[in-house]
Structure 1
């Protein structure tokens, strides 16, 4: 099952470092208590997971010089780099999913992106999944072929397809959860965005006072010891 699908179905199984009133805790799953972390360990893990370079996907577009940044770019930037397409029909119509597959010879790289809807149509990408190919993907036959996509796509922090577990850990630090075929990282905290930022996202001014919950999820899966998918989500909840 696609990491995109798993992440939307529930966040109850999240593995994350939580920052709350200056204290850090490690939340592993919903039916186990959180584990408090020493401030230095917690801060290091939280900052590593929240590093903004993890959400910037580089080497996108025909000349491979474009960047797609989660929580900054909207669908128009996606369309500019990979081609204008209709949203794919899946189980989550309120958060449109767009899908592409490389049309470069010998390259089967897939990129899936979801857009957060906002009250005034200012939606931004809130998650991107990069896959080695479309194998096992239910919507594989409906992906848009694009010359703007290739296996060269990587995050600014250095996450790319084909890395070993050791190489991923060198970028992301100790895993918040590890299985034989996956590494999971996450971070969450409450913030108060500026009035300008709240309005730019299409939300009313009342949210400046209420604050927002931000959570980051990164999931890397492996086949034969090499990364075959990279899933990055950075989402803001408003209520």
Structure 2
């Protein structure tokens, strides 16, 4: 308090190093020397934990966990509200500890949200948002109230849902493509084929028959040269 409260007419109280447990009703009463009350004033103090986070997810993801874990013990008779506060205010999930009930307050979010079954026991007030769409982007705020409706805790998370990135890979339809055989033979290979046939005749072999090395009617590309393929019989391989 002020050093000379009566002279300064300032009866204010300064409370230092605040904790969540400092929430409550503070009353100042002034008495005369006979003990009769002269003045009285009450102030309700609510100490809250306000946090802001940002999260980015991709459209089409099955779910996202919007985290909110507390360290202090909470009263048993509390109400936990999750709201979409931007771009428009919508109640999306409500937990009432006195009734042990989880309620979705807007039909759009029915089956779309989920919290821990007993969040006061686990101290986990996180919200799971399912089946994400671009329209789920916004500011989500969780507020905890005591049984008298006084705010105890609050946290806001900005959620940004992005479109699925384009990989830039195009699928080419090859169902109608046909293989074109390579039948081009260089001049050198044609000369070798003629020489081989001449050699077969000279040795008594009929060109294209017997066990001579005959050239089939197709080639394969190897090392930039057309290589003639040979078979072990006159009908080719």
TM-score w.r.t. structure 1 length? 0.23
> RCO higher in 1 or 2 (8 Å CA, sep ≥ 6)?
1
The structure with the larger Rg is 2
